[in-house]
């Protein structure tokens, strides 16, 4: 019998970054007690270690079986009740250096495999670094905190995955509370379609679409031009060669430049682009397109059809989606002439359809953030 109390078994197969371990029959229990602590053998996700001189290689159990993976020729070698672990090698520790991911030295057949105890887990996970937050305790040890680098967590893509009832929501709450408690002044926006997190944050301001007390508004003018163009008319950046797409971008830029006097100060019009988060009226944008589509003019030449040559009879009301009216053009090819600005035909119809769709009121009718002069803008949105 081995003298090391952490001895688990030996390697019977090595395949690149995967090894197979035969658990020693001298270990009678699947949950031995070492130094007063209970450790589980063969549980998927637990660590094991392979000491080779002053190098310690660590791996994670990925599967458990009562037969070796290649048992067609070797099954008779093993007695009934043998246990076999498939282990993915994940990193190593050289001497007293810190644990590092990746393998520089690979184990060989018959090398000893040992149980990873609490001290080893501390070596693997280390202490809390500056800029990290504690997100919970390790499943193998209630004394071992697990930390996440906040900078990477926030700036990179992150997913919390698990089956129903596995604790995804509780994990999310734990992470958010760790950020709020660890960094004074932290502000978090939580998109909660199912309304399951409000009870966990009783001091949070909860906004809901169509809620009388705290309605949720996401003003459309916060979108980049590419996002807004795709949402409104289905246009993509690859449509840049089309006249209507370029004119659409020009219209939006002009509307934003016209509204450059913001709460926090005036914005240099030369710095404003179609992507700038500056309010404008989506209804007035529709009205403008409708005007150019339906206008009649003193001239039949497109380049000369301007607002100065138009035969407008009533300007309409863009707030109520009423277009301007014009003197009808006669059928005998005489003044006034029909508009030659037909490039907005499909865009105008699609935008009007979007504006009238009540499902998008939180975008296009955002209360005091509706985008006309004198209403609230980005400064209010960020500070209220």
What H or E segment, with its residue span, contains residue 325? strand 325-326
For residue 1, pLDDT over 50 is answered with no
For residue 307, pLDDT over 60 is answered with yes
Q: CA–CA separation, 46 vs 8, rounded Å? A: 13
The rounded percent of the chain whose pLDDT value lies above 70 is: 89
Q: ∠ at Cα 143 (142, 145), nearest 5°?
A: 95
Mean pLDDT of 249-257: 95
Instruction: Tell me if residue 68 falls in helix, strand or coil.
Output: coil
Mean pLDDT of 96-116: 89
Q: Provide the pLDDT for residue 294.
A: 95
| Coarse DSSP helix, strand, coil percentages of the chain, rounded to the nearest 5 percent | 30, 25, 45
Q: Give per-residue pLDDT as tens, 37-71.
A: 666 776 788 889 999 999 999 999 998 888 887 65
Q: Provide the pLDDT for residue 36.
A: 63
Which residues are 37's β-sheet partners? 34
pTM for the full predicted model:
0.60
For residue 384, pLDDT over 50 is answered with yes
**pLDDT band, residue 78 (cuts 50/70/90):** low
Q: Strand 132-138 vs strand 47-52: parallel, antiparallel, or unpaired?
A: unpaired
Q: Provide the pLDDT for residue 35.
A: 63
The H helix count followed by the E strand count for the chain is 9, 17
Instruction: Tell me if residue 326 falls in helix, strand or coil.
Output: strand
User: CB-side exposure of 73: number of CA atoms within 13 Å?
Assistant: 0
Q: CA–CA separation, 345 vs 244, rounded Å? A: 9
**pLDDT band, residue 313 (cuts 50/70/90):** very high
Structure-model confidence comparison of residues 90 and 121, the more confident one? 90
For residue 77, pLDDT over 70 is answered with no
Least confident stretch, 29-38, 209-218, 240-249: 29-38
Mean pLDDT of 96-124: 87
Beta-carbon contacts of residue 278 (< 8 Å; ≥ 6 apart):
221, 256, 259, 260, 262, 267, 272, 377, 378
Instruction: Tell me if residue 171 falls in helix, strand or coil.
Output: helix
Q: Provide the pLDDT for residue 195.
A: 85
Q: Give per-residue pLDDT as tens, 166-180.
A: 888 988 998 999 888
Give me the DSSP letters along 94-158.
ETTSPPEES-SS---TT-EEEE--HHHHHHHH-SPPTTEEEEEEETTEEEEEEEEEHHHHHHS--
Q: Provide the pLDDT for residue 58.
A: 93
The rounded percent of the chain whose pLDDT value lies above 90 is: 42
Q: Provide the pLDDT for residue 30.
A: 60
For residue 125, pLDDT over 90 is answered with no
Q: Give per-residue pLDDT as tens, 338-363.
A: 999 988 899 999 999 999 999 999 99
Q: CA–CA separation, 227 vs 151, rounded Å? A: 27
Mean pLDDT of 229-257: 94
User: Taking all residues of the chain, what is their mean pLDDT, rounded to a whole number?
Assistant: 86
End-to-end CA distance of the chain: 70
Burial call 338-359: b when 16+ CB within 10 Å, e when fewer: bbbbebbeebbebbbebbeeee
Domain boundaries, the chain: 7-125, 127-206, 225-383
Q: How far is CA 192 from CA 195, 199, 202, 258, 361, in A?
A: 5, 12, 14, 36, 19
Q: Provide the pLDDT for residue 263.
A: 79
| Of residues 336, 345, 344, 340, the one with CA closest to residue 309 | 336
- Taking a C-beta distance cutoff of 8 angstroms, is the pair 132, 147 a contact? yes
For residue 121, pLDDT over 60 is answered with yes
**pLDDT band, residue 3 (cuts 50/70/90):** very low
What are residue 34's phi and psi, to 5 degrees?
-125, 125
């Amino acid at each position: 019998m081995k003298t090391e109390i952490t001895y688990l078994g030996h390697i019977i197969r090595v395949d690149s970054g995967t090894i197979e371990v035969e658990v020693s029959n001298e270990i009678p229990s699947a949950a031995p007690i070492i130094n007063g602590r209970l450790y589980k053998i063969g549980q998927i996700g637990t660590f094991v270690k392979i000491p080779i001189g002053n190098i310690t290689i660590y791996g994670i159990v990925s599967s458990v079986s009562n037969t070796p993976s290649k048992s067609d020729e070797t099954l008779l070698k093993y007695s009934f009740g043998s246990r076999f672990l498939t282990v993915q090698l994940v990193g190593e520790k050289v001497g007293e250096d810190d644990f590092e991911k990746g393998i520089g030295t690979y184990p060989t057949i018959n090398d000893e495999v040992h149980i990873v105890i609490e001290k080893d887990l501390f070596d693997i996970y280390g202490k809390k670094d500056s800029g990290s937050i504690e997100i919970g305790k390790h499943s193998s040890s209630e004394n071992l905190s697990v930390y996440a680098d906040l900078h990477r967590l926030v700036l990179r893509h992150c997913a919390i995955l698990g089956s129903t009832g596995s604790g995804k929501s509780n994990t999310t709450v734990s992470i958010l509370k760790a950020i709020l408690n660890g960094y004074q002044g932290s502000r978090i926006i939580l998109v909660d379609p199912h309304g399951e997190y409000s009870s966990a944050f009783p001091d949070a301001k909860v906004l809901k679409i169509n809620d009388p007390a705290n309605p949720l508004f996401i003003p459309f003018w916060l979108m980049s031009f590419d996002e807004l163009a795709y949402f409104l008319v289905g246009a993509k950046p690859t449509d840049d060669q089309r006249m209507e797409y370029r004119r659409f971008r020009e219209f939006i830029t002009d509307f934003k430049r016209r509204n450059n006097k913001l709460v926090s100060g005036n914005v240099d019009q030369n710095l404003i682009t179609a992507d700038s988060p500056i309010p404008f009226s989506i209804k007035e944008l529709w009205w403008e397109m409708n005007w150019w589509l339906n206008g009649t003019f003193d001239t039949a030449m497109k380049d000369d059809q301007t607002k100065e040559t138009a035969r407008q009879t009533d300007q309409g009301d863009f707030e109520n989606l009423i277009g301007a009216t014009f003197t009808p053009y006669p059928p005998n090819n005489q003044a006034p002439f029909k508009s030659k600005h037909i490039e907005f035909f499909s865009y105008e119809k699609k935008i009007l359809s979007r504006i009238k769709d009540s499902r998008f009121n939180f975008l296009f009718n955002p209360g005091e953030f509706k985008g006309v002069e004198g209403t609230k803008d980005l400064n209010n949105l960020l500070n209220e």
